[in-house]
Chains A and B, each alone.
Chain A
């Protein structure tokens, strides 16, 4: 495995007082840096905001943390239509109306009991959980900025109010909060201020080798070298959507099935797995050189 045992024990020793520390699991390549960062965020009980290109494993990391710490993962997939409150709870008004009109039958619900009609959202479930859980807010940048601001207070204090009955829901166990963002939209300053922020850079060649090794341990080394060279060259070519880790892995998967004799940088098989935009593929086929960047008049 990628993490050395010395590194792990040292981190553990230094993080005395924290209940758990994160060490990475077998299926996910975790560099030292990322591991330390996760542990620091755990120690300080701060939400960890992960940004970076798509395909750098931001969401994956949350799953790995949950697996490693043996906690339940509760996930909120952000959408642009989210208004804020429903990630905590929703009152199913339609059902209640329906019950009021047609009767509850043998469902056991009582129209006059508010909590019979509450549907807990991911944050509500995380706060009400009996044990500490990992709460993942995925792609938070898709939401409106005022929604983010509303969420802030909820996350910071780990409590929210149910305004219909004026009751507070407070987390008995502060969840481990992981937030991811693809930078589709700028996050507000107050939001950033309350998180630990880490931008995951694109993996270096060496790291990529380790990642590939986790997925394709049987891959021929020479072949991997060539594939890596071609891939990193392709990334440099200034495509609108440069291929990322997941595209590279898909491509290797495709090549595994149909292994070519050699790889020519300008005639790659299965280019569609690497480049996703029509424009990029056309540009690749035409081999049109990008105009040089110049300043002046």
Chain B
């Protein structure tokens, strides 16, 4: 690791640190946080050791609390931190997903456990076939819970330095030793509750985290106070009036923007997202000068629709007449048959008469007109390559900047728009 080399070479302790040089017993843990992309700064590390020196962490539970207080700045990162803590100090490797999430099957932890259990003979050779995925998932979580249970209520704590619980044996016991009866709730129990997993930034948009998404969207535009007393001007005017007071109020200009939302509401797969997106954007209404949603199915051709039933068309040409400053969000899965995107007459509707030109032409026109254009895709980014529509997703994202409809994606989309 680069960091450790630097720390060893530099003789000057950082500001505010007057004890032993960095390199204390928690370095391995801090390194693990970095490896797991947890946002860290040297300031936190210094602060952390200062607190340790003050005796704030006197057992593993208080260490857990104190470390969380120093390191976690955003609730999005909390789950990641707690998992790293469980891994380093308890040797329990918790997957990033929530119990009940089918994504579990793709995690390294699940695969390792499966392989290990088969090798040990605890599971039959072809468990997927013989037991079914549901049963396997259940057993995985059971094993994990037992692991956490076993750690519960002991009096001597040894950090394992992060060896896997599922039998990746052979790693030496390192990490720190801590003694002291646990007075209250044990850290591992708290971690086991996974209280912050819903807030993880890799989560897709849903009711629970809509507040977070909203707060991200609010970064989009500057909004200031409405009115203020202009003291200089008041004094000037008052002096001119021969001392007769005249109050001058100035009004701060609010830079409100126009937002257009283009929603793919065709097909059952888009349905859960339509309401959420509309909700998300309509909440922002007071912040926008104007907000209009339009609808389309699969891809955009000559017509967009003003109503969700797609009966009341608006020629896409008309949309293109809007100010180029307009912020345009397209929400859709971008997954379709290639000809829907590439061929003239490509619309899946036989009676469509707005598809003389291919959808690609229309998307390019949108791109050329609106510099603040972004595509939000409900399909998670890591699945873009392996999903049914991978080809069209790839083509469309070459034209229009694409992010997924997760908290992280929305944040990146807003940043992208802000930097235009």
Q: Which residues of A contact B (CB under 8 A)?
A: 4, 6-7, 10, 14-17, 32-33, 36-37, 40-41, 43-44, 46, 51, 80-83, 93-94, 97-98, 100-101, 141, 144-145, 182-186, 189, 192-193, 195-199, 201, 204, 238-240, 242, 291-297
B226 contacts A295, CB within 8 Å? no
Partner of B56, one of A15, A83, A94: A15
B229 contacts A94, CB within 8 Å? yes
Q: Which residues of B contact A184 (CB under 8 A)?
A: 211, 214-215, 218
Q: Which residues of A contact B319 (CB under 8 A)?
A: none
Question: Does chain A have a CB within 8 A of B333?
Answer: yes
Q: Which residues of A contact B253 (CB under 8 A)?
A: none
What's the Cα separation between A97 and B245 when bound, in Å?
Answer: 7
Using A101-B243, A199-B78 as known contacts, say yes or no to A296 and B387 having CB atoms under 8 A apart.
yes
B269 contacts A297, CB within 8 Å? yes
What's the Cα separation between A145 and B219 when bound, in Å?
Answer: 9
Interface string of B178-193 (1 = CB under 8 A from A): 0000011100001001
What's the Cα separation between A201 and B62 when bound, in Å?
Answer: 18
Q: Which residues of B contact A81 (CB under 8 A)?
A: 225-226
Question: Which residues of B (373-410) have their CB < 8 Å from a CB of A?
Answer: 378-380, 383, 387-389
In the complex, the chain B residue whose C-beta lies closest to that of A83 is B225
Partner of B72, one of A44, A186, A197, A242: A197
B62 contacts A36, CB within 8 Å? yes
Contacts A100-B243, A182-B211 supplied; 18 other A-B pairs, CB < 8 Å: A32-B184, A43-B54, A51-B75, A82-B225, A101-B245, A185-B219, A186-B215, A199-B78, A238-B207, A238-B208, A240-B279, A242-B207, A293-B204, A294-B272, A296-B379, A296-B388, A297-B336, A297-B389
What's the Cα separation between A16 and B50 when bound, in Å?
Answer: 14
Using A185-B215, A197-B73 as known contacts, say yes or no to A44 and B54 having CB atoms under 8 A apart.
yes
Interface size on B, residues (CB 8 A): 72
What's the Cα separation between A38 and B380 when bound, in Å?
Answer: 38
Q: How far is the CB of B264 from chain A (nearest CB, A)?
A: 10
What's the Cα separation between A242 and B193 when bound, in Å?
Answer: 20
Question: Does chain A have a CB within 8 A of B38?
Answer: no
In the complex, the chain B residue whose C-beta lies closest to that of A14 is B58
In the complex, the chain B residue whose C-beta lies closest to that of A49 is B73
Q: Which residues of B contact A293 (CB under 8 A)?
A: 204, 206, 272
Q: How far is the CB of B102 from chain A (nearest CB, A)?
A: 10
What's the Cα separation between A141 and B183 when bound, in Å?
Answer: 35
B69 contacts A41, CB within 8 Å? yes
What's the Cα separation between A238 and B185 when bound, in Å?
Answer: 30
Question: Which residues of B (220-239) have their CB < 8 Å from a CB of A?
Answer: 222-226, 228-229, 231, 234-235, 238
Q: Which residues of A contact B226 (CB under 8 A)?
A: 81
Q: Which residues of B contact A16 (CB under 8 A)?
A: 55
What's the Cα separation between A37 and B56 when bound, in Å?
Answer: 10
Q: Which residues of A contact B228 (CB under 8 A)?
A: 83
B65 contacts A36, CB within 8 Å? yes
Q: Which residues of B contact A93 (CB under 8 A)?
A: 229, 231, 234
B70 contacts A196, CB within 8 Å? yes
What's the Cα separation between A16 and B58 when bound, in Å?
Answer: 12
B269 contacts A296, CB within 8 Å? yes
A199 contacts B218, CB within 8 Å? no
Q: Which residues of A contact B279 (CB under 8 A)?
A: 240
Q: Which residues of B contact A97 (CB under 8 A)?
A: 234-235, 238, 245
Q: How far is the CB of A68 from chain B (nearest CB, A)?
A: 18
Q: How far is the CB of B246 from chain A (nearest CB, A)?
A: 10
Question: Which residues of B (199-217) have their CB < 8 Å from a CB of A?
Answer: 199, 204, 206-208, 210-212, 214-216
Ranked nearest first, the 10 interchain pairs of A and B with the lowest CB-CB distance are A32-B184, A297-B335, A192-B73, A81-B225, A199-B75, A238-B207, A201-B195, A196-B69, A296-B269, A185-B218
What's the Cα separation between A281 and B190 when bound, in Å?
Answer: 34
Question: Does chain A have a CB within 8 A of B47?
Answer: yes
Q: Which residues of B contact A (CB under 8 A)?
A: 41, 43, 47, 50-51, 54-56, 58, 62, 65-66, 68-70, 72-75, 78, 183-185, 190, 193, 195-196, 199, 204, 206-208, 210-212, 214-216, 218-219, 222-226, 228-229, 231, 234-235, 238, 243-245, 247, 267-269, 271-272, 275, 279, 333, 335-336, 378-380, 383, 387-389
Q: Which residues of B contact A37 (CB under 8 A)?
A: 65, 69
Q: How far is the CB of B351 from chain A (nearest CB, A)?
A: 22
Q: Which residues of B contact A40 (CB under 8 A)?
A: 51, 56, 65-66, 69
Q: Which residues of A contact B269 (CB under 8 A)?
A: 294-297
23 sample A-B contacts, Cβ–Cβ < 8 Å, listed by A number: A6-B183, A7-B183, A14-B62, A32-B185, A33-B190, A36-B62, A44-B51, A51-B75, A80-B223, A83-B225, A97-B234, A97-B235, A97-B238, A101-B244, A145-B219, A183-B215, A193-B41, A199-B78, A199-B196, A293-B272, A296-B387, A297-B269, A297-B389
Q: Which residues of A contact B229 (CB under 8 A)?
A: 93-94
B184 contacts A7, CB within 8 Å? yes
In the complex, the chain A residue whose C-beta lies closest to that of B270 is A297
Q: How far is the CB of B57 from chain A (nearest CB, A)?
A: 9
In the complex, the chain A residue whose C-beta lies closest to that of B68 is A198
Q: How far is the CB of B75 from chain A (nearest CB, A)?
A: 4
Using A81-B225, A186-B219, A296-B269 as known contacts, say yes or no to A198 and B245 having CB atoms under 8 A apart.
no
Q: How far is the CB of A278 from chain B (nearest CB, A)?
A: 13
Using A44-B56, A185-B215, A199-B196 as known contacts, say yes or no to A295 and B379 having CB atoms under 8 A apart.
yes
Q: How far is the CB of B97 from chain A (nearest CB, A)?
A: 14
In the complex, the chain A residue whose C-beta lies closest to that of B231 is A93
What's the Cα separation between A7 and B61 when bound, in Å?
Answer: 12
In the complex, the chain A residue whose C-beta lies closest to that of B267 is A297
What's the Cα separation between A192 and B54 when bound, in Å?
Answer: 23
Q: How far is the CB of B43 from chain A (nearest CB, A)?
A: 7
What's the Cα separation between A204 and B74 when bound, in Å?
Answer: 21
Q: Which residues of A contact B383 (CB under 8 A)?
A: 295
Q: How far is the CB of B206 from chain A (nearest CB, A)?
A: 7
Q: How far is the CB of A219 from chain B (nearest CB, A)?
A: 25
Q: How far is the CB of A40 from chain B (nearest CB, A)?
A: 5
In the complex, the chain A residue whose C-beta lies closest to that of B44 is A193
B73 contacts A193, CB within 8 Å? yes
In the complex, the chain B residue whose C-beta lies closest to that of A44 is B51
What's the Cα separation between A184 and B199 when bound, in Å?
Answer: 15
Q: Which residues of A contact B223 (CB under 8 A)?
A: 80, 144
